[in-house]
A = this chain, B = another copy of it.
Amino acid sequence: METKNKKMKMMTLDQLKDRDIGEIGTPERDKYEFDLRMELLGEMIKSVRKERNLTQEQLGELIGVQKSQISKLERSTKNVTIETILKVFKALKANVKFSVEMNELEFNVA
């Protein structure tokens, strides 16, 4: 598990994508693009939570929600609100960065 985690951390998202849903350009890839993001977001939360040595219940307490909610955030393929993401990572003392890239320009929204 530890090994698996470490490996994941070292993989770029593109590598994950290639592994999990096929090369760029295939219809499958486009279709699951968003689900993948959500999946990864869940994985991220779980990863960081583990890193902090917290149980879902403890993380829940930090935020003020039940453990079941954390579980859902970690494994759901559903859509999520920015507010929720920020709330969770703030509790985990992790920084969320957000950037929009267009051509050569890149604006960062941290």
A62 at the interface (CB under 8 A from B): no
Task: Point out the residues of chain B lying under 8 angstroms from A98, CB to CB.
Answer: 37, 41, 96-98
C-alpha gap A38/B86 in the complex (Å): 11
Q: How far is the CB of A45 from chain B (nearest CB, A)?
A: 8
A residues with a Cβ closer than 8 A to B are: 8-9, 12-14, 33-34, 37-38, 40-41, 44, 47-48, 51, 79-83, 85-86, 89, 92-102, 105, 107-110
- A98 to B86 Cα, complex, angstroms: 12
Number of this chain's copies in the complex: 2
Could you list some 10 contacts between A and B, CB below 8 A? A37-B109, A38-B82, A41-B82, A41-B98, A79-B82, A81-B81, A94-B101, A95-B101, A96-B98, A96-B101
Cα of A82 to Cα of B47 in the assembled complex, Å: 20
A40: min CB distance to chain B, Å: 5
Q: Which residue of B lies closest to A87 (CB)?
A: B34
Nearest B residue (CB) for A99: B97
Closest to A108 in B: B13
Q: Are B102 and A12 in contact (CB-based, < 8 A)?
A: no
